[in-house]
Structures are given as C-alpha cells and as structure tokens.
A = this chain, B = another copy of it.
C-alpha cells in the first residue's frame, strides 16, 4: 500500500523539534512528545533507532536528551526511513539471502528484477531529498 509508517513521521517531527530547539542544548523525548503530541514510548523507540544510526546523539542520565548529529542538509529522507523502517522495500524478496520463505514465487518470478529497478529509482528519489528540504520548504 506504499504507506510510510507513523514511526517515519514521528522521526521527521522529532528532527524538526530538535533543530528548532538546538539552541537550548539537548532536548528530551518528553519535550518532543508533549510538544507535538506524539506517544512517548513509541517516540522513544524512534529516537533510539535514530541513535543507533548515528543520526542523533543521545545523552543518558538526569540531564540527558538528544541532539542532532548532522546538519539537516546532510541527512536525507532515505537515512530517516531506513533507520526507522525495518525493511522498507516494495517487495519481500530484495533482502540479502531472500528465500522461498519470503515469497513462494521467488524462483520463478518474472517481475522481481524489474521491480528491483523500480526500487532503485525510489531509493534514488529518497536520497535526493534532504530533511532540510522537507522540514524548511
């Protein structure tokens, strides 16, 4: 159905919040959650995923929080999506080492390679969009 998950949207919103409040140093998950009305627990997971991909810095402890790790013009929509969506591809069979478990048609499929090309185009598109462009259009 080609829909982005809420996690991607929350990630973008969180990045926006962090950039806006960069002056005040780090920003907590609670502040973002309350500022934009995002479920706290889910947002926390999103921030953790962004941390793993080094898109944000996290600081633990009572004065902890998050900061952006890159300038918005150096982070793309592709970075955000692939940090947050486990496998964001248009079919189930593009992963490294996909087998019949992923799709029963995998060994006889006549649309796989062509769709892989479409996937590459989509990747290219997402890599061409920076979050700078998205969040300050």
Contact = CB atoms under 8 A, between A and B. Distances in A.
A71 B137 CA distance: 40
Contacts of A117: 137
B3 A105 contact: no
B90 A2 contact: yes
Given A2-B3, A85-B2, A105 B37 contact: yes
A9 B118 contact: no
B114 A137 contact: yes
With most chain B CB atoms within 10 A of its CB, the pick from A86, A114, A117, A137 is A114
Q: Which 5 pairs, one residue from A and one from B, show the smallest C-beta to C-beta distance?
A: A114-B134, A4-B90, A2-B88, A114-B137, A12-B111
Given A3-B90, A111-B135, 14 more contacts: A1-B3, A2-B4, A2-B85, A2-B88, A2-B122, A4-B90, A9-B91, A13-B111, A16-B110, A16-B111, A37-B104, A114-B133, A115-B134, A121-B125
8 contacts: A1-B3, A2-B81, A2-B85, A9-B91, A9-B111, A12-B111, A110-B135, A115-B134
Interface of A: 1-5, 9, 12-13, 16, 36-37, 77, 81, 85-92, 104-105, 110-111, 113-115, 117-118, 121-122, 125-126, 129, 133-135, 137
